[in-house]
Amino acid sequence: MAKILIAGLAGDSGCQVATLALHEKLLQILSENELVYASTLIDAKQIPEEVDVAIIEGGIRSEHEKHLAEEIRKRSKTVITLGSCACFGGIPGLANLEEGGGLLKKVYAELEGTVKGRLPTHDILTNYVAPVGNVVKVDYSIPGCPPEVDDIAYVL
């Protein structure tokens, strides 16, 4: 019985929701494998020490997400990126069009309707949204926004 981890980073959790669209196929997969961590689906606070298959959704937008991806890679035999955000940066990657933290300034201080906007006082975001493969070795990728349900089922 393989241990499966599903982690969400900088994304919208849409890929994890797409996994639920497997319906009966998901029940079959879960009857043959153990879901040990799924950030959107189950209340697990710690990444298990040993994982057979790790599925990562979302890109890397913070030092915390970078650290999480590195820990998942260390503890997993196989890492799969799920969705365009994890594979390529996706929609969050559009932030890369703003240079040197310009996105935070625009959102917190310059947009119409912002009153006395203040920038966060500590670093919450990196200056670059990275695909997971830029930070850790990825064994397989399932692109798409969201990925095709049949592709997810095939890989699992």
pLDDT one-digit tens code per residue, 63-77: 999 999 999 999 999
pTM of the model: 0.88
Checking if the pLDDT of 128 tops 70, the result is yes
Q: Scanning the structure block, which residue is given the tokens 């310009």?
A: 102
Task: Give CATH superfamily name and number for 2-155.
Answer: NADH:ubiquinone oxidoreductase-like, 20kDa subunit (3.40.50.700)
DSSP 59: B
pLDDT score of 122: 67
- Cα 38 to Cα 101: distance, rounded to the nearest angstrom: 31
Write down the residue that tokens 């319906």 correspond to. Answer: 23
Query: What pLDDT does 73 receive?
Result: 99
